[in-house]
Structure 1
Amino acid sequence: MLDATSLQAEREFQNGLQVLGGLRSPYVITLLGYCAEKKKRILVYEYMRNRSLQESLFAGGPRVLVLDWNQRFEIIVDIARALAFLHLECDPPIIHCDIKASYVLLSFHFRAKLSDFGLRGLNRKVSLGSTYLVRNWLE
């Protein structure tokens, strides 16, 4: 039998899955499915062929990828678009809280997708206050 804390955690997990499963953006990794059995949880996301930005920038050896400055700029713009989507187009807004190169995944064509925001940013009350964004710049 689950205690109250376990039931609350299970509800939060299920609510988070509904939110993550409904996210549709070319700049955010897509949740394809999940498995929840007993205490084990597995989330299945789309495959990103060129690994993480961390590995592309800092890995050594024969598999290192060389990103030119145009590719790097496009990756930065993709990340900004992902954040704009999560902060401005999701209701309630989703705050990542831990952006780093290892959470930016690269597609076959080196398009960046933000990943690993998990369930931690979904239940926060957010006030964006007087934040201003020039939307045309991102389009």
Structure 2
Amino acid sequence: MATAVDVVYRILSWIVTAMFLMSSLIKVSPALFPEMNAEMAKTFVPMVRVCPTAWFGYVPPVYIYMVTIGAWELFCVGGLFIKALQKTAYGILTVIMIGAVYTHIAIGDYKGVPVPLFLLVACSLLFSRSSNQSVKLKTN
């Protein structure tokens, strides 16, 4: 029988999955969401100046950067449905969200921080939960 904590984690995992699925589809498929994709591309313009590759002198094209982030998110959403890949997917999503929080703070967009921060905390919790479950399975 599932405990209340298990139910909360299950609901949290579905919320995270749905949010990343929608976000990644907007980023990678302009055919499905043309207006939202164009709007998101506008928000990525200042973000490319503070992206990690800019530290090394390479500022990627806005659309390539946005699609790359979206593709990683979409790949990880697929990984969330495969038990063996869940821990890796949550780990990658956690790193992406650390980058998103940093990016919003670096460009001074403090209104954009709450959603990535929520997803960072959620992915971190789910990552630690998937790590603990795999340890429990190995010890039994």
Q: Which structure: greater helix fraction? A: 2
TM-score between the two structures when normalised by the length of structure 1: 0.31
Larger proportion of strand: 1
